[in-house]
Amino acid sequence: MCGIWALFGSDECLSVQCLSAMKIAHRGPDAFRFENVNGFTNCCFGFHRLAVVDQLYGMQPIRVKKFPYLWLCYNGEIYNFKQLQKQFGFEYQTLVDGEVILHLYNRGGIEQTASMLDGVFAFILLDTANRKVFLARDTYGVRPLFKVLTDDGFLGVCSEAKGLANLKHSTSLCSKVEPFLPGHYEVLDLKPSGKVASVELVKFHSYKDEPLHVACDTVETLPSGFDLETVKSNIRILFENAVRKRLMAHRRIGCLLSGGLDSSLVAAVLLKLMKEININYPLQTFAIGMENSPDLLAARKVAAHIGSEHHEVIFNSEEGIQAIEEVIFSLETYDITTVRASIGMYLVSKYIRKKTDSVVIFSGEGSDELTQGYIYFHKAPSPEEAAEESERLLKELYLFDVLRADRTTAAHGLELRVPFLDHRFTSYYLSLPAELRIPKNGIEKYLLRQSFEGSNLLPKEILWRPKEAFSDGIASVKKSWFSILQDYIDQQVDDLLLEKAVEKYPFNTPKTKESYYYRQIFEKHYSGQSNWLPHYWMPKWVKATDPSARTLKHYKSATQE
């Protein structure tokens, strides 16, 4: 996890512009470099480093003797860089996994490069010999990337929008900062003036398609067919493989543990594999919640079962409320459920950074979208519509859960790893018949739970624990976190302000005092950028006025039984 930043064709003094790069310093607390591009005095790269792999030669932009005309600034992890080296005979100059991007590009161009990378990444690749700039981002947008491109060809690129929002250009502020689309690469021509012109934006991978890099995966061809035993076995094999490949790190590995199915499976498989490869330190797991919250109690059970070194972070409502503004600033969004869920994750990340030496943090993001884990999936009219909704959620992950997970951990210099979003695992799961993937017997994620039954990885009551939204599970059953927030905000926002909300905020107009409060804070830091959030996250097929799972009838009936 690092922070990348680059400008091409700046009209303003670069020493002034580079102050914007310092706004993402939290993403790379270990080192910083600012470098001009030879022959283009108005082009430069900025890089904040979190040293996870090759601590000696890992500074960026990466340049190697073999390709003196290539400049690479990237944020991510490429898990198959050794397999690609073996397959194509690449001679690496460093131990940095991202160096493979330069070799792949030299061998087969940008299309093959993006398609063959098994990992999470956002990168800026400059080819001065052919005067090209390339931008690319991984399939699910696990690593963030934003850009601004003006009509006269000034380009700014950054890991977070805050590093571009106040750039100066032609005496005016650059305003059209946009997220770069996941699963795409863009080709831009670099003019002698340092300005650029976009040539094409290409989607290089659809999450339903088996990725091209399967050809050099460590797992061989899986048995075909959809009989249940084969499917369950394949799910176990691919999930374990997804966790195994993510063990690549020279810094201590830890794991977030809410006590729900997803994080518990990740923690259990992670600890099992760490033992197998003789990692000589205990796995630290981290849970957060208010006193006696459901998540704390469940996480305690899991930690005792798997034998991790468990840490509990207990916070009160005042600490959570005090964190709201800094959380919204970090997130760059005002989405209701994202803000709610981010507060706990932000506070636990803060604890990890201050109190432990764990830096590479595993988490369970992506499972709910992939395996139909949200409670409203019980109301899906048909398996086919449930499958479509699952795909829509995956497509928008970069706006919601993946955004939350990246920003809350990156704010404290941690690197997130999310095995549920492994390319091969997700493409296989999405290839299964729609009726296999739906909730069954009133239980969501039924197929995933079934696949690990009998493995003794988890206690049975955790394997079959009903879905609890992270923002709800950290509070008590009697009073949920969203109720605590709403009670506080009710005193902060006047009724009249809400009545006139449509005049002040015509786009994504706040409908509640809570959403109005978040929007106010967002506009304070990112005025006029409300389009970064196309729409609020809300459940489907139910008449919901709030995104919390606890407001849905299915949840209420389940907890009252």
pLDDT tens by residue, 122-158: 999 999 999 999 999 999 999 999 999 998 999 999 9
Determine the Cα angle at 376 with ends 371 and 378, to 5°.
Answer: 75
Distances (CA, A) of 254 to 123, 455, 509: 26, 22, 39
DSSP label at 211?
P
364 is in an annotated binding site: yes
256 is in an annotated binding site: yes
pTM score, two decimals? 0.94
Neighbours of 119 (CB within 10 A): 23
Among 2, 73, 158, 255, which one carries the catalytic annotation? 2
Cβ atoms of 23 and 163 closer than 8 Å: yes
User: Is pLDDT above 70 for 1?
Assistant: no
DSSP label at 530?
G
Q: How many CA atoms lie within 13 A of 194 on its CB side?
A: 19
184 & 293 share domain: no
Confirm whether 2 is a catalytic residue. Answer: yes
User: Is pLDDT above 80 for 13?
Assistant: no
259 & 173 share domain: no
pLDDT digits (tens, 9 = 90+) for 78-116: 999 999 999 999 999 988 999 999 999 999 999 999 999
- Residue 203 tokens read as 């989607």
Whether 210 is covered by a domain: the verdict is: no
114 & 240 share domain: no
494 is in an annotated binding site: no
Among 203, 235, 270, the domain boundary falls at 203
The H-assigned helical ranges of 324-479 are 324-331, 336-355, 367-370, 383-395, 401-410, 423-431, 434-437, 446-451, 460-463, 470-473
Number of structural domains (the chain) is 2
Which pLDDT band, with edges at 50, 70 and 90, does 467 fall under? confident
97 is in an annotated binding site: yes
183 & 327 share domain: no
Distances (CA, A) of 465 to 246, 292, 363, 444, 462: 26, 17, 18, 10, 5
Return the SS3 of 328.
Answer: helix
Whether 50 is covered by a domain: the verdict is: yes
Whether 209 is covered by a domain: the verdict is: no
Whether 393 is covered by a domain: the verdict is: yes
Which pLDDT band, with edges at 50, 70 and 90, does 218 fall under? confident
18 & 47 share domain: yes
Least confident interval from 15-24, 123-132, 227-236: 15-24
133 & 240 share domain: no
**pLDDT for residue 309:** 98
Give the residue, 396 or 11, on which the prediction is more confident.
396
Whether 211 is covered by a domain: the verdict is: no
Burial class for 171, CB neighbours closer than 10 Å (0-12, 13-18, 19+):
exposed
Return the SS3 of 440.
Answer: strand
Q: How far apart are CA 296 and CA 287, in angstroms?
A: 6
**pLDDT for residue 348:** 98
179 & 295 share domain: no
For residue 193, the domain's CATH number is 3.60.20.10
pLDDT digits (tens, 9 = 90+) for 508-560: 999 999 999 999 999 999 999 999 999 999 999 988 777 765 555 554 444 44
Work out the average pLDDT over 360-380: 97
Whether 561 is covered by a domain: the verdict is: no
Distances (CA, A) of 470 to 156, 238, 314, 332, 337: 35, 25, 14, 20, 10
209 is in an annotated binding site: no
193 & 278 share domain: no
Closest by Cα among 207, 245, 219, 231 to 79:
245
Domain range for residue 519? 219-551
